[in-house]
Amino acid sequence: MPAFKPRRRSRFQSLCYFVFGLGFVLFVYYYALHEPRSSPDILAKEAASNSTLGFQKILVLSKSPSWRTRGLKAASAYTGLDIEIPVQSLPTDEFIQLWRKLGDPNGKHPGLGQAYNWIAHLDLVKYAIALDLETVLILEDDVDWDVTIKQQIQLISSAVREFTFVDDEDETPYGKSWDILWIGHSGDPLKNETRRVEFKDPSVPSKDQYTGWTKPYYNLNPGSRYVQRAVNPVGTIGYAMTKRGMKKVALWAGKGENEAYDIRLLEGCRSKDLSCIVVNPQLMHHYVPPMDFGHISEVAGVNGAGNKAEEEDFEKLMGSTPNIVQSTRCRVLFGSTCLRK
């Protein structure tokens, strides 16, 4: 029986295989080069809605576990946020008294509670610097936010990038051309002469729903939120800093020389020693337990204002949050909304 001989390809067939293979390689290479890519703004918005809202870390200012931290942890879990509550040491009474005397003897000085709060904030700022963070968001432990916080923060990302003229190739959620970004505060009057970026946000409280000391200055278009240069930001409920901002804040606020930490930062914004941006209306505010049960702030408590309340009752009785339409604390703890009216 004759041996089997494999059939040899013709030159034409080999050429066809070669041309087909080369064409396939070129097609794959072309597709890889021209595959549609997400724009930097889209990538930035996606990063802003991660578990730390686009910042490298979320750090919480807290003296000790309480109804504040337990509610905060529940709210964070509900909205998928990753927070860190560092253990903070208490300064000595002698150090507090020295701190209160810093600056002009005839100028303004912090009360006892304000001094404790000021030093605690500075400790967190220095902690973030020691960690060599690019950005950080610092929250006070009674903070509250809307259940749509991740959708809200995506809008903030785009607005801040537009406001600070972020380079087209920069994919960072907020750019880096700022020192402080206030997303949680008790008010900052919206000045018409201040440059700002307006955008639609369905979660914004209406003028009738808005409360606080800045209500007389409320001149927002319905359903709109704004990013603007900070003019008079009061309250450090939730504020972010860049690496540059952390170092500048540590130096600026490390001198004391005023009545409170937030007022010292406000002065830096006004003088432009600090580059400050604010979101109006705010995305975060203090959750406040029912006043009828003797609630006072920790700062007021240290200052001796009011009587000590039965704080364990606060976890059983729903309070309220100003200017947050759908409070996360009230949703997760009480299955309700609790917008202060």
State pLDDT tens for residues 96-118: 998 898 888 888 888 988 999 99
The pLDDT of residue 189 is 85
Averaged pLDDT, 259-278: 95
- pLDDT, residue 54, reads 97
Percent of the chain with pLDDT over 90: 60
pLDDT of residue 210: 94
Mean pLDDT, residues 53-67: 95
State residue 122's pLDDT score.
96
Residue 7 resides in a domain: no
Domain that holds residue 127: 40-286
Asked if residue 143 has pLDDT above 50, the reply is: yes
78 to 64, 73, 188, 200: CA distances (angstroms): 22, 9, 29, 25
Report the pLDDT value the prediction gives residue 27, as an integer from 0 to 100: 46
User: What is the C-alpha end-to-end distance of the chain, expressed in Å?
Assistant: 102
Instruction: Identify which has the larger pLDDT, 195 or 139.
Output: 139
Query: HSE of 147 in the Cβ direction (CA atoms, 13 Å)?
Result: 15
Q: What is the CATH number of the domain that holds 185?
A: 3.90.550
What mean pLDDT is predicted for residues 220-227?
93
Identify the pLDDT of residue 105: 83
For the four alpha carbons of 122, 123, 128 and 132, in that order, the dihedral sign comes to positive
Residues 121-144 have a mean pLDDT of: 97
**CA-based nearest residue to 66, from 313, 249, 322, 320:** 313
Q: Closest Cα partner for 138 from 183, 172, 177?
A: 183
Q: Say whether pLDDT at 2 is over 90.
A: no
Q: With a cut of 90, say whether residue 234 has pLDDT above it.
A: yes
Residue 257 clears pLDDT 90, i.e. is over it: no
- Asked if the structure places residue 227 within a domain, the reply is yes
Q: Is the distance from CB of 278 to CB of 190 less than 8 angstroms? A: no
**Residue 125's pLDDT is what?**
98
In a domain, 49, yes or no: yes
Band of the pLDDT at 303, cuts 50, 70, 90?
very low
Domain membership of residue 308 (yes or no) is no
Q: How many structural domains is the chain composed of?
A: 1
**Is there a domain that residue 30 lies in?**
no
Spell out the residues 6+ positions from residue 88 whose beta carbon is closer than 8 angstroms to its own: 61, 62, 63, 120, 123, 124
Compute the average pLDDT of residues 299-312.
49
pLDDT bracket for residue 298 (50, 70, 90): low
Mean pLDDT of the chain: 85
Residue 290 pLDDT class (50, 70, 90 cuts): confident
Task: Examine residue 124 and state whether it is found in any structural domain, yes or no.
Answer: yes
Q: What is the mean pLDDT of residues 162-178?
A: 93
* Residue 28 belongs to a domain: no
**Does residue 34 lie within any of the structural domains?**
no
For residue 299, pLDDT beyond 60: no
